[in-house]
Structure 1
Amino acid sequence: MSTTFWRAGVLALLLATPAIAEEAPATPAPSTEAPATQAPPAENDTAKSIDEAAEATKSAIDKAKDATIKAIEAAAEAVKKALDKAKTEAGPAIDKA
């Protein structure tokens, strides 16, 4: 059941993405202020950003892996229950035959 909701949510998000993109302005509104000059990031900051991105990616992969394992376990449990139910219901019919 939760997989259905998960899939429906992902589908809704995918369908809504183009509409959201169309609503967002393509170019920012012109500013009357002079643009501030930004110094290029220091190498330390860049390395820190890369490390943070790598950690976030690893975390996302771990969460996806855990969710996949749980989904597989739930599916296996559902199949097992269905087989047990089928055996229980078919048992008397097999005995009569």
Structure 2
Amino acid sequence: MRPNQKVKIKNYSVRIPQWKKNDKEIQQLTKQYDQIDPGSIETFKDFPLTQKTLDGLAEADFINPTDIQREAIGVALQGHDILGAAMTGSGKTLSFLIPVAFK
């Protein structure tokens, strides 16, 4: 190196991959699954769901869960099997799909 030459230093920041952030968030939420009380659920925000999931539900105008969703989502998140019967259009499919996204 020459006497008057400046040294260039590059600053490399460590980036955490998005999947690791999501994985960590899901691990933290999983600890809350056993505390789900269907009787206290009023909105989807009351479920331990990732922010990305809650944002997607809100964007699709899903704010308040239906009765079948209120009863089934928590049970499914806890890893139990579900056999639900409700009328067409009651939200059964969504109540089964949300927990599947976290397994």
Normalised by the length of structure 2, the TM-score is 0.22
Larger radius of gyration: 1
Structure with higher RCO (Cα < 8 A, 6+ apart): 1
Q: Which structure features the higher share of helix residues?
A: 1
Normalised by the length of structure 1, the TM-score is 0.23
